[in-house]
């Protein structure tokens, strides 16, 4: 049976780097406060004429430069984002044109911080089903466009960036069993407003910016992800201590530390992107994975658990053998 294999990776961020001193100039905060509560030191913001599809193009070109010929024959593009260039057409359709991938299908996945993991699940299914053989999966965001810079509790969290992986049909796959799930009743705890002015009878802030109940999301993430780490390991015939690297969504360094404490997983065996890139939602996991591979930390044969969680509230994950 045809299996799915992750074979290549690339990433990109905008040129404009934003340090914590920037926020000291616009809200009542300090670098020390931001680092102590989030771990974030820097993040990147897109320019006024730079959009999510532009960052995706850069990430795809980076992948191609590292893996020559990788884009030839791509037959599906999956983009996870909550910040598309426009609601329609999809970012994936823009990429099909911009990258010249004439034979590729194109869909966007709207699962926020769990989106890249959901993209891997979809790509694996398409390949196992025999309908596609080369799938580009992107996680990409320009969250600076939906950040409420008057909200001192969250505005320093978010950053812009993109990363992509190639998933190919192979005799021997390296994407293992997956988990997916949601707690949709908690949607009010993390949202960006659109047309509806209320959710489940509760009024929404209609500024079309990110609204987050940080404490509730923190508690849910630690409890649910600690549970799902164990579930995901068991589904793959592993114990947690057999995982070489854990790559959770980089929402907040303190969340990652708390998950590690709850599960007993060594913090030094986690890969994060929060410190240098901020919370990039859909892009956080593949950016962390890219840097783990590029730095030489991740070795061939390592078992990598990826676990996305966030807006929805939704989660998804899998285990990859690099």
Instruction: Report the DSSP pairing between strands 105-109 and 314-321.
Output: unpaired
The sheet with strand 105-109 has its strands ordered as 3-12, 160-170, 134-142, 76-80, 105-109
Residue 67 annotated as catalytic? no
- Across the strands, what pairs with 3? 170
Active-site residue, from 155, 249, 276, 291? 249
Termini Cα distance of the chain: 20
Angle among Cα 224, 228, 229 to the nearest 5 degrees reads 120
**Measured between alpha carbons, how far is 185 from 122 in angstroms, rounded to an integer?**
24
Give CA–CA dist 106/26, Å, rounded: 40
Which of 20, 236, 279, 291 is catalytic? The answer is 279
Of the residues 113, 155, 178, 260, which is catalytic?
113
Q: Annotated catalytic, 172?
A: no
User: What is the rounded distance in angstroms from the CA atom of residue 22 to the CA atom of residue 191?
Assistant: 25
Q: Which residues are catalytic?
A: 113, 249, 279
């Amino acid at each position: 049976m045809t299996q799915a294999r992750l074979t290549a990776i690339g990433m990109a961020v905008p040129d404009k780097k934003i340090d914590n001193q920037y926020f000291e100039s616009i809200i009542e905060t300090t670098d020390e406060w931001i680092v102590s509560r989030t771990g974030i030191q820097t993040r990147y913001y897109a320019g006024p004429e730079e959009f999510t599809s532009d960052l995706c193009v850069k990430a795809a070109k980076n992948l191609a430069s590292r893996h020559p010929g990788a884009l030839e024959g791509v037959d599906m593009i999956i983009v996870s984002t909550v910040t598309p260039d426009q609601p329609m057409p999809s970012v994936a359709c823009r990429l099909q044109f911009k990258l010249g991938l004439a034979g590729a299908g194109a869909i966007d996945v709207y699962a926020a911080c769990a989106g890249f993991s959901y993209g891997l699940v979809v790509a694996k299914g398409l390949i196992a089903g025999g309908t596609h053989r080369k799938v580009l999966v992107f996680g990409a965001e320009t969250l600076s466009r939906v950040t409420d810079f008057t909200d001192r509790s969250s505005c320093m969290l978010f950053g812009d960036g993109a990363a992509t992986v190639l998933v190919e049909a192979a005799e021997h796959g390296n994407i293992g069993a997956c988990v997916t799930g949601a707690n949709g009743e908690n949607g009010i705890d993390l949202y960006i407003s659109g047309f509806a002015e209320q959710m489940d009878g509760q009024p929404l802030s209609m500024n079309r910016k990110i609204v987050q109940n940080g404490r509730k999301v923190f508690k849910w993430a630690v409890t649910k992800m600690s549970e799902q780490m164990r579930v995901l390991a068991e589904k793959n015939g592993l114990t947690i201590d057999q995982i070489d690297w854990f790559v959770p969504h980089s929402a907040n360094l303190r969340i990652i530390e708390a998950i590690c404490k709850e599960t007993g997983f060594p913090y030094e065996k986690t890969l994060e992107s929060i410190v240098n890139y901020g919370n990039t939602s859909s892009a956080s996991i593949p950016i962390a994975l890219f840097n783990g591979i590029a730095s030489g930390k991740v070795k061939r044969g390592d078992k990598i658990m990826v676990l996305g969680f966030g807006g929805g509230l939704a989660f998804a994950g899998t285990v990859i053998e690099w």
